[in-house]
Amino acid sequence: MRRRSQVESSSESDYNGSSVNDSGVESESDLTNVDASADKNNEDEAWLSLTKDHPPEHYLQQLETFDEREYTKEDYKDSSTRLIDHMEDQWNQCWTFLKSDHLRDYATVSVGTLYTFFDWLLDQRQGKGGRKRRGTKYASSLGTYWKVFRLVYERAMGVRLDGKMNRSMHRVLRKIAKKHGLKKVGRDKACMYVEDQTLVLHTNLVTAEKRYPHGRCRIQAQFYLQIGGFTANRPKAILALCYRHIRVTLLRDPDGGPHRVLLEFTFEFTKEFLGIKDMNTFPLPEIIYDESLIFSPHVLLLGMLFHDQAFAAYNLTSPEELSRLYIPPGRNELPLRLNRKLDDIPVLRKAVQTPNGWTISPHEPLPYSTLLPWIRTLGQITGFAQVTRPYSLRYAGGKAFNENGNVSEAMQNLMMGHASIGTFLKHYLSRRVTVDTQAVVRGIQPQDALMRAACTMSRSIDHRRPRRLTPEQSASVNDHPVVRSLLDQREQLKRTLTNATKHPKYQELNRRINREKQRRRHALLQDVKERWEYEQPVRDVEQQLAGVETKDDLKVGHIALLPAQKELVDAILAPPGLTFDEELGRRNTAIRAVMRYCGIQEGGMCRSRPRRWSGRIILPSKSEDASQLDLAEQAFEAAKVSVYKERRPRICFVCLGEDLPMDQRIRSFYSSGDLSKHFKSKHLERIKEGDSLECKLCQLPLKHKMHLQRHALQVHGTVS
């Protein structure tokens, strides 16, 4: 029961002109105060009108024009919206093709119309522009189509599809999947465990077979592999990391050891379209005396930060200066603030091509479409049978969190960004059982190490596994009946049309031939891989039982590492120091190597086939006692003489002045005409408005594109 407030009855309280009624509420009783109160209200209104930016009419008009549909509809990411729009287009195309426009209305949806639509959808073999579709192979894909259609229906009707119809569709989908021969086995969620991650990190570090456009791309791939494994975050959340999401701190060791560098990563962009989520922060302390720096994100990130001059302290520009810092007594940390001008700059950025070669974009993030083939290629070079994807790190990290006794279910959901453990069990947990079940049932000691080895990707390593077609296999697609027919059509056009190569019909037919050849090569490569996976082990067994020594048929072409890459490899793989000063020196040397590597060009992916006009390299005669370095310097000097002295040289003066691998800098084309083609396509066509031009060989700034062309002709003999 609410207690009534005490009321004072003194003469002072009676004098203020207010009385208290029976309920204890104070009321105004002096009528002389009415005008004063009105004046006060007028003053408040005047104050409100003066302090607000807009008049009342502005907000009333805003209320009248407010569209609630913008806020009541479901909000999806762009990729999801594209899927929904595509499914809606398919629905409309289906009933247009069947000439049954009355069934297009979603109000007429029934089990029969849905069966007809999905049956028609799986029969489609061509998309827009006559392009061939890859086709649907798995029943799980059909289930995805059904989920997307339900979203289409909900967007159009404003309500969800009837639950009874939803249950009936499960039987329909099973029948359609059986009719079209869809496989029930879904894609394997291959986990990249720490053993596999170590091999991929080592491959990315030492391989010259995979060549990136810019040196920083290799560092970024290495950094992503580390952070993706340690945090198990979604790939796009890692790619969206900006400098404002990173905190660097010098932290005091509570056990009395040396101060540690602490990195803290805050992931902001995590499934934000499903509602605003709190940001997760992952602290990663530095490990002293680690066996190898191959797992050290501190070395890579600090190298990139020093290269970008990202620290707010103007004189903190090198790892040696970082080593001189200390934490004053009475404090436990020393924050190393980053420059606020870089707050919105992504840490992982894409490489862009300029007239002078490759450089790192100052503000564009590294796209997922670029990262995905990087990880796939590294897995292939390592020798894995499974396809490695960025999500392989998230699968493995989530499984490690789930099996660790120090990580609770709530903490796992927080780190993974899941609402409940059910999301992990349904979508992330691998279908492969990793427990020694026979040991559990029999009550014996489980063979944990053997079970672990049985479940890793590393067990499938075989460098003999085919990764590309041989020249003979690639040329065999020309004998395919479809390709042969298209080639005959092209020959007929050549005979019937004047100047056929410039005709639109000929050019379109040429594109069709190229697309068809590419499809046939892809299908042939998949067939070669599948046959090899089955037949090669059989051949190995037969040879061993026949007493024939098994030899690898693979001939590895060794490509010399760039000097900067060799320096990076030596620094990252260096053993730990015996003393703290030696360990600090090892870390600083590695950071220095990363800083230098972030500033070089690698020149792009090494091609499996030679380019059309890739020529020889001019090298002087090699004497027995001449070192490779001396030969490279002599070749470089000979190339410089060529681009200055020869009337029509065959070496590109722009490439010669860039920080590229030596074989690309001094490459000699087959003819001066081929050099002109290279100069136009690789340099002139990539000049944009406002680009700063320069001949780095002559150290001469150039004003515009025509100035570059005139300089190329008059000084270096390159016709454009």
What pLDDT score does 220 carry?
Answer: 96
pLDDT for position 374? 95
- Sheet with 260-267: list strands edge to edge: 280-285, 260-267, 246-251, 333-336
d(CA 354, CA 683): 7
What six digits make up the tokens of 40? 């006060």
- Per-residue confidence (pLDDT) for residue 57, from 0 to 100: 82
Beta strands 280-285 and 260-267 are antiparallel
Residue 336: the pLDDT is 96
Lowest mean pLDDT among 87-91, 373-377, 553-557, 701-705: 553-557
Q: How far is CA 266 from CA 65, 243, 407, in A?
A: 39, 10, 19
Q: 656-687: string of b/e by CB count within 10 Å (b at 16+)?
A: bbbbbbbebbbbbbeebebbbebbeeebbeee
Helices within 428-579 (DSSP H only): 437-442, 448-455, 471-475, 481-496, 504-545, 563-572
Across all residues in the chain, what is the average pLDDT?
Answer: 82
Q: What is the pLDDT of residues 66-99, one digit of tens each?
A: 877 666 566 677 778 888 988 999 999 999 988 8
DSSP summary character for residue 663: H
378 SS3 class:
helix
- At 322-370, the pLDDT tens digits run 999 999 999 999 999 999 999 999 999 999 888 777 889 999 999 999 9
Q: What would the two tokens of residue 613 be? A: 């006009």
Q: Are 668 and 615 in contact (CB under 8 A)?
A: yes
- Length of the chain as a residue count: 720
Residue type, 85: D
Q: Say if residue 18's pLDDT is above 80.
A: no
Q: What integer is the mean pLDDT of 491-511? A: 88
Query: Which secondary-structure segment (H or E) carries 365?
Result: strand 357-365
